[in-house]
Amino acid sequence: MSEVKPRYHTIMLIDDNEIDNLINQKIIESSSIAKHIFTHTSGKSAIEFLKNMEKIASRMENVLPEIIFLDIDMPLMDGFQFLDEFNKLSNETKKYCHIVMLTSSINPQDMNKSKKYDYVKKYVNKPLTQDSLKKLEVTN
């Protein structure tokens, strides 16, 4: 039996709830959809990580995540504040990293607000499932 080739090299999870991150990480691992998974419990640490990765991205392939699952409701820096900071990153990074809002928010205003960002490709309600991962088609 041949091994399933991951669809993505790297996926990033950003959620202040460590249990959600752990569950989502296990779902992604069991789906074999990605080779690597980075998790962050704050938008601030995720932005710093991406800024650092940008510095080495030109020298190394596949250091930036192709998919970023982003929660909206987080302390210090919420998902929309993260998106505003993400917008300041290089155009190459914004083209490469596709953001999926992964949230428990059913507020239509949040969904509409997320559509204002070009790099937000999908809005998915928690919990992440094998099925929602299978339907995940966010490449350019």
What superfamily does domain 12-134 belong to in CATH? Response regulator (3.40.50.2300)
The total number of residues shown for the chain amounts to 140
Q: Domain ranges in the chain?
A: 12-134
Query: pLDDT for 92-130, tens place per residue?
Result: 899 999 999 999 988 999 999 999 999 999 999 998 998
Query: pLDDT for 60-74, tens place per residue?
Result: 667 899 999 999 999
Omega before 75 cis (within 30°)? no
pTM: 0.92
SS3 (DSSP) at 98: strand
- Beta-strand relationship, 67-70 and 120-125: unpaired
